[in-house]
């Protein structure tokens, strides 16, 4: 039987009058890189927070590899590695100490912990700087450290919320190269949010365009581009489905502030 890595059915979340996620149905297939795309305020982070069990879904249901999120939170958490949009590394600790903290948090067996921490630091290409405080790291290195934290428990599903925001193209490629290597080695599923259409086009097997809490289009990047014409880009697709220009969508003050904070701390 085919079990989706993530299945959301009728998922809804409100904040006051704002419907952040609006009756969302979504399946992520095992082993794929799935991109949740949309402008600031589309509802991407809210969706992710419900999938990761950090935020309760008042309406609808979610399962992760067939495990129900509402009734089996702990079991679901064991399956997921999560790189949040906001900073999750402690600047005063070394890279190794940061990853070791997550290894304890995620119950990596004590016997293999030291070895596993070293292994995952090497996988994200931080072995040489592992004993330097994280505050001496570049933006790309911090993001790779956060990747190591999320991967230390060898999750089946890696969830990344805007993993490359504020990074230069070389650092962005560095983060993606590590993700793709580890995915090739383990077969893990990757769910990623981004507002960078070009990045999604290049890296994702399938994408969903999210706008105002709803999915407006879903398919492979090639399918979505092809539906518009031979020269269309994913940016064109987004504009066609939402009527908004991605770069011009203002979002609320709250959205802009939160994006800036994220961009500021990694640059």
Ligand X SMILES: Nc1ncnc2c1ncn2[C@@H]1O[C@H](COP(=O)(O)OP(=O)(O)O)[C@@H](O)[C@H]1O
User: Which residue ranges make up the site for ligand X (CB under 6 A)?
Assistant: 15, 18, 20, 38, 40-46, 252, 254-255
Q: Give which of ligand X, Mg ion, none residue 18 binds (C-beta under 5 to 8 Å, depending on kind).
A: ligand X
Closest CB 20 distance from ligand X, rounded Å? 3
Residues 6+ apart with CB under 8 A from 227: 219, 237
Q: Give which of ligand X, Mg ion, none residue 46 binds (C-beta under 5 to 8 Å, depending on kind).
A: ligand X
Query: What backbone torsions phi and psi does residue 68 show, to the nearest 5 degrees?
Result: -70, 125
Q: Give which of Mg ion, ligand X, none residue 163 binds (C-beta under 5 to 8 Å, depending on kind).
A: none
Residues 6+ apart with CB under 8 A from 203: 33, 35, 176, 180, 192
Query: What backbone torsions phi and psi does residue 152 show, to the nearest 5 degrees?
Result: -60, -30
Strands (E), the chain: 6-15, 18-28, 33-37, 59-64, 67-68, 80-83, 157-161, 189-194, 206-211, 214-219
Closest CB 260 distance from ligand X, rounded Å? 12
150 is written with which tokens?
A: 């999320």
Among 26, 33, 45, 179, binds Mg ion (CB under 5 A): 45
By CB under 5 A, is residue 262 in contact with Mg ion? no
Exposure of 41 in the CB half-sphere (CA atoms within 13 A): 16
Q: Give which of Mg ion, ligand X, none residue 267 binds (C-beta under 5 to 8 Å, depending on kind).
A: none
Q: Give which of Mg ion, ligand X, none residue 88 binds (C-beta under 5 to 8 Å, depending on kind).
A: none
Q: Is 16 or 229 the residue whose CB approaches ligand X more closely? A: 16
Closest CB 126 distance from Mg ion, rounded Å? 25
Q: Give which of ligand X, Mg ion, none residue 15 binds (C-beta under 5 to 8 Å, depending on kind).
A: ligand X
Q: Is 183 or 249 the residue whose CB approaches ligand X more closely? A: 249
**Region 15-44 residues binding Mg ion, contact defined as CB under 5 A:** 44
Q: Is 44 or 216 the residue whose CB approaches ligand X more closely? A: 44
12 is written with which tokens?
A: 């809804």
Residues 6+ apart with CB under 8 A from 37: 44, 193, 194, 195, 197, 200, 207, 208, 209, 210, 234, 238
Binding site for Mg ion (CB under 5 A): 44-45
């Amino acid at each position: 039987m085919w079990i989706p890595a993530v299945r959301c059915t009728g998922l809804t979340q409100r904040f006051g009058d704002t419907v952040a996620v609006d009756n969302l149905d979504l399946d992520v297939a095992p082993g794929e890189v799935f991109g949740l795309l949309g402008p600031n305020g589309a509802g991407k982070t809210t969706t992710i927070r419900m999938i990761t069990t950090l935020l309760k879904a008042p309406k609808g249901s979610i399962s992760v590899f067939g495990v129900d999120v509402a009734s089996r939170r702990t079991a679901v958490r064991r399956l997921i590695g999560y790189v949040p949009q906001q900073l999750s590394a402690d600047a005063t600790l070394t890279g190794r100490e940061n990853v070791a903290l997550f290894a304890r948090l995620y119950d990596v067996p004590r016997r293999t912990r030291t070895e596993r921490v070293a292994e995952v630091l090497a996988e994200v290409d931080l072995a040489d700087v592992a004993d330097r405080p994280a505050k001496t790291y570049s933006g790309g290195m911090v993001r790779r450290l956060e990747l190591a934290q999320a991967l230390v428990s060898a999750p089946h599903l890696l969830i990344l919320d805007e993993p490359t925001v504020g990074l230069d193209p070389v650092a962005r490629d560095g983060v993606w190269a590590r993700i793709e290597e580890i995915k090739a080695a383990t077969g893990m599923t990757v769910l990623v949010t981004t507002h960078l259409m070009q990045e999604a086009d290049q890296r994702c097997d399938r994408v969903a365009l999210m706008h105002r809490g709803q999915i407006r289009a879903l398919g492979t990047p090639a399918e979505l581009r092809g539906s518009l014409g031979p020269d269309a880009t994913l940016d064109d697709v987004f504009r066609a489905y939402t009527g908004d220009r991605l770069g011009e969508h203002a979002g609320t003050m709250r959205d802009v502030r939160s994006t800036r904070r994220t961009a500021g701390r990694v640059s």
